Copies of this chain bind each other. A is one copy, B any other.
Amino acid sequence: MTGTGLEKPTHFVVFQPSGRRGQIEEGTWLLDAAHDLGVELETICGKMRTCGKCKVRIEEGSFERYGIESSRTNLSKIIEKEHEHLGTALDDGYRLACAARVLGDVVVFVPEESRAVKQVVRKSATERVINVQPAIRKVYLELRPPTLQNPLGDWERVTEAMHRVFHLDNLAIDYRTLLELSKTLRAGHWQVTLTLWMNREVVRVQPGLVDGSIGLAVDVGTTTVAGYLCDLKTGAVLTTEAIMNPQVSYGEDVMSRITYAMTHDDGLAKLNKAIIDGLNAIARNATDRIGLTPDEILEVVLVGNTAMHHLYLNIYPEHVGKAPFPPTLHHSIDVKARDLGLLVHPSANVHVLPIEAGFVGADNVGVLIAEEPYNQDAMALIIDIGTNGELILGNRQKLISSSCATGPAFEGAHIKFGMRAAPGSIERVRVDINTLEARFKVIGKDLWNDELEPDQVGARGICGSGIIEVVAEMFRAGIVDKTGRFTKGLTHRRLRKGEEGDEYILAWANETSIGRDITVSIKDIRALQLAKAAMYAGAKLMMRRLGIPKLDRVILAGAFGSYIDRERSLLLGLFPDCALPNIYAVGNAAGDGARIALLNTDKRDEANRIARQIDYVELTVDPNFEREFMYAMHFPHMKDAFPNIEAWLAKEGAAPAVLAGLPKAAPAQAIPSVVAGGS
């Protein structure tokens, strides 16, 4: 910016592959030109030409206007530093964008590794792109050593350079990192890479130029804890690691753990230690698998339901376990890993996602920022099926959430032959509507039972998705009726009276590894009915609150959601009717949400905003809950029509009584808004 009235000439600059282009004033550094045109280039040295990260390839650019000695570009001369960093790549047209000035028209190609903002594409029913903008950033500094004339302290030497080179002020350094500073500066001969947290705190110092950082996102489920070790530069998942929540030994579900914490003097301490040990195991195993150590982890994001949230933060969970369920805090919180006892980098920050209310916790917020229903027109019901069912209903106009006590039936518990999804568990079932014979498939085998010799089948029990399939198929075949009772008068070699009443033999003893018939009893069906009715009633009451007659989408989150069969879960009435292609699973969306929050700090702000905006509705106190729950005990429902499942049954086949027994579609006012009173 000279003060003369003469304007400098401009040149046409194009950046590929983005195609961003524009007129750039002569003499502008290519790095600044890129920035002006909206192309962010990698640089961790603050244009000091010491990191060599901003390399670009010159595609077009001729000499006719200036005839300057320059490697086939309309750019300023190659300087010594470029020889150092690029070597023979110079012959291929590479330059450092921080060392080349625009002197003529140029077309510049930005290689993937030089792009500052990486993106991660999340494969879901709807593809989403996440910009990689983590809390962690690396910068490289070359400092002058202290002298008697300038004996400035080491930290002040760093802050002075950070101000000068990166224009960052008010920088702090974490106490534990401060302890390493002086040695590291000297080990690196005053060339050092700093890791910054939120551009305000130095959390790591490393000698020399070191690029890349890793972070860990963990979804702490009541039963399963899933960790995602991520590259904080590229956003890539480096490895995943899942373990059973070690708190299981203190109680299978949330309430039993809260009770344990309340009734034992050291209950909270034990539960906290169990999960912290588990998180440390995940960090250790995941880093070990890729040849690193846990202290390479510089940032951690945790999500979990409200009880898990309190337990991993070591907060007494009594009050989230009883009405009115106020948590100790809603908002996200940043805690030093060392304060939590996490054995990652001692200066690492742990970001705990916000929670909504009661049992709807940070994991639900993870689902929200992953699925973004608040950015969609479609009216979606998001169901996170775990030991507790968590429900979100809404679109960009309005969003509400709730939770329902489904109990562990969907996970195979409280079912006589129920078991976790593991080798030997029956996960797929088909019942012939004519012969009433069953075929099934167990986890760990590629073939169905009737394609194997009986002694090769090795069934051990039925997992959650298997329970849904077998009961849905029994209903479709007319073995049980819409009330869940075994059809009267039916006789079959697979039907008998057992200790728990009527039962259907799914696997013969010789097909099992337990030496007993695997059966589905009236009691098992009752447990499933209770679970599904709670979920359906919850969804129904939420729809009523918003005055919504039908759903555009049903999104099944949670690992379990990925395995259950959409037709058969709809047939049983786990949730209200919806077009079958619009029912889809998104896997562990809570884990995805954790990973998104790890990679993008804007999404953390979004999480806090959404968690505050979403209305949590407490359904158990709704005066209509009991009646809705009772209606929903039927397969698929006592009152509500399921046109989509009706069409599917017509195509797929079903016992005549099933089709005849389905409630008939009523006009839209079948589901009046809550203002209009009961149905």
Task: Give me the interface of A with B, judged by CB distance under 8 Å.
Answer: 146-148, 150-157, 173, 175-176, 178-179, 181-183, 186, 313-316, 318-319, 323-331, 333, 335-336, 338-340, 355, 357-358, 616, 618, 621
Contact = CB atoms under 8 A, between A and B. Distances in A.
Given A151-B357, A151-B358, A178 B326 contact: no
Contacts of A157: 326
Contact of A175 (B154, B327, B339): B339
A156 B329 contact: yes
A329 B154 contact: yes
Given A153-B327, A328-B153, A329-B154, A182 B315 contact: yes
Contacts of A339: 175-176, 338
A331 B155 contact: yes
Contacts of A315: 178-179, 182
A198 to B, nearest CB: 14
Contacts of A330: 152-153, 155-156
A316 B333 CA distance: 32
B324 A151 contact: yes
A147 B323 CA distance: 8
B154 A326 contact: yes
Contacts of A324: 146-148, 150-151
A338 B357 CA distance: 31
A340 B151 CA distance: 27
A608 to B, nearest CB: 11
Nearest to A158: B329
Contacts of A153: 326-331, 355, 357
Given A153-B357, A154-B326, A173-B329, 12 more contacts: A146-B324, A148-B324, A151-B325, A151-B618, A152-B330, A153-B327, A153-B328, A154-B319, A175-B339, A178-B333, A179-B314, A182-B318
A154 B327 contact: yes
Nearest to A358: B151
B148 A323 contact: yes
25 contacts: A146-B324, A148-B324, A151-B324, A151-B326, A151-B357, A151-B358, A152-B326, A152-B330, A153-B326, A154-B319, A154-B326, A154-B327, A154-B328, A155-B328, A155-B331, A156-B331, A157-B326, A175-B313, A175-B335, A175-B340, A179-B313, A179-B316, A181-B328, A182-B316, A183-B316
A225 to B, nearest CB: 21
Nearest to A346: B339
A148 B618 contact: yes
A313 B355 CA distance: 37
A323 B148 CA distance: 7
Contacts of A318: 182
A319 B184 CA distance: 12
Contacts of A182: 315-316, 318-319, 328
Nearest to A329: B155
Nearest to A314: B179
- Shortest 9 CB-CB distances between A and B: which pairs? A155-B329, A146-B326, A153-B330, A151-B324, A148-B324, A153-B327, A182-B328, A175-B335, A153-B329
A336 B339 CA distance: 11
A328 B148 contact: no
A439 to B, nearest CB: 48
A357 B153 CA distance: 8
A613 B153 CA distance: 14
Residue from the set A156, A182, A327 with the largest chain B CB neighbour count within 10 Å: A182
A676 B156 CA distance: 34
Nearest to A317: B182
A154 B328 CA distance: 5
Nearest to A621: B148
A333 B156 CA distance: 12
A355 B151 CA distance: 12
Residue from the set A156, A314, A329 with the largest chain B CB neighbour count within 10 Å: A329
Residue from the set A147, A173, A327 with the largest chain B CB neighbour count within 10 Å: A327
Nearest to A616: B151
Nearest to A357: B151
A153 B151 CA distance: 50
A176 B339 CA distance: 8
A146 B314 CA distance: 22
A467 to B, nearest CB: 33
Contacts of A338: 339
Nearest to A154: B328
A329 B178 contact: yes
Contacts of A355: 153
Nearest to A315: B179
Contacts of A323: 148
A310 to B, nearest CB: 9
Residue from the set A146, A328, A330 with the largest chain B CB neighbour count within 10 Å: A328
A355 B339 CA distance: 28
A330 B151 CA distance: 10
Residue from the set A148, A313, A335 with the largest chain B CB neighbour count within 10 Å: A148
A175 B329 CA distance: 11
A457 B146 CA distance: 55
Contacts of A154: 319, 326-329
A621 B153 CA distance: 19
Residue from the set A156, A173, A316 with the largest chain B CB neighbour count within 10 Å: A156
